[in-house]
A and B are shown apart, each in its own frame.
Chain A
């Protein structure tokens, strides 16, 4: 079954705390993405990963870092979270450059 799974689905953190968002996919897709979605701003690309340990910045990488040690798993890390990082974060995967993304269910992060 083709599925992208995100954990946790909901998270509340205080400003300055570290945040780990995790994403897994069961399709052996090479390419994985992290986007954030804010009202009126659409989906903004944070990072893209082409395979294990092959990551590239997207359009808004500042304040974020990623880790991909296994093809099926892609993590987004916020070191010392800020209130303006309150958002819904979506992980997605695709096979090569098909342009078709499979999205996870999203992780809603609130930073107080």
Chain B
């Protein structure tokens, strides 16, 4: 049972375009949603995160949109740059689920110059 789902599996955009990465989850007790990015041959690192008290979190070119009712969120990367090419993981955790941080399978983003 996959608790955190991501789509698409792979996404290619041109430099300057907006990339939209989608995520959905099953467990309504999840209350923290971090996005991690991972560059080839490196370890994942926290990019941006949101809690359900907000429906939007912005950090420069990266914005999370959150829809609690539909249990969906999305990461928007505006003015995409070739350096943004990486795998993006949506994750979820819950105070009631003993600190478990569950990851989706990831979206491979390719930004073409």
What B residues does A31 contact at CB under 8 A?
Answer: 99
A43 within 8 A of B: yes
User: Across the interface, which residues of A come within 8 angstroms of B98, CB to CB?
Assistant: 48, 50, 56
Q: How many A-B residue pairs have CB under 8 A?
A: 57
Contact A42 B104 (CB under 8 A): yes
Taking CB atoms, residues of chain A closer than 8 Å to B34 are: 99-101
Q: CA A50 – CA B43 in complex, angstroms?
A: 22
- CB pair B103–A90 under 8 Å, yes or no, is no
Say yes or no for B59: interface residue by CB 8 A criterion. Answer: no
Q: A42-B104, A100-B34 are in contact. Are A48 and B99 (CB under 8 A)?
A: yes
When A33-B101, A45-B100, A45-B101 are in contact, do A97 and B95 touch as well, CB less than 8 Å? Answer: yes
Name which residue of chain A comes closest to B51, CB basis.
A99
Complex CA distance for A97 and B32, rounded to whole angstroms = 9
User: Of A43, A48, A96, A105, which is within 8 A of B89 by CB?
Assistant: A43
Instruction: Kindly name the residue among B43, B44, B46, B49 whose own CB sees the greatest number of chain A CB atoms within 10 A.
Output: B43
- How many residues of chain B have a CB within 8 Å of chain A? 23
Tell me whether A58 is interfacial, beta carbon within 8 Å: yes
Query: How many A residues touch B, CB cutoff 8 Å?
Result: 25
Which residues of the other chain, B, contact A44 by a CB distance below 8 angstroms? Answer: 103
Q: In this complex, what residue of A is CB-closest to B46?
A: A100
A48 vs B93: C-alpha distance when bound (angstroms): 13
Within 8 A of A (CB), among B96-113: 98-106
Residues of A that sit less than 8 Å from B by CB: 31, 33, 35, 40-45, 48, 50, 56, 58-59, 90, 94, 96-97, 99-101, 103-106
Interface residues of B (CB under 8 A from A): 9, 32, 34, 36, 42-46, 49, 89, 91, 93, 95, 98-106
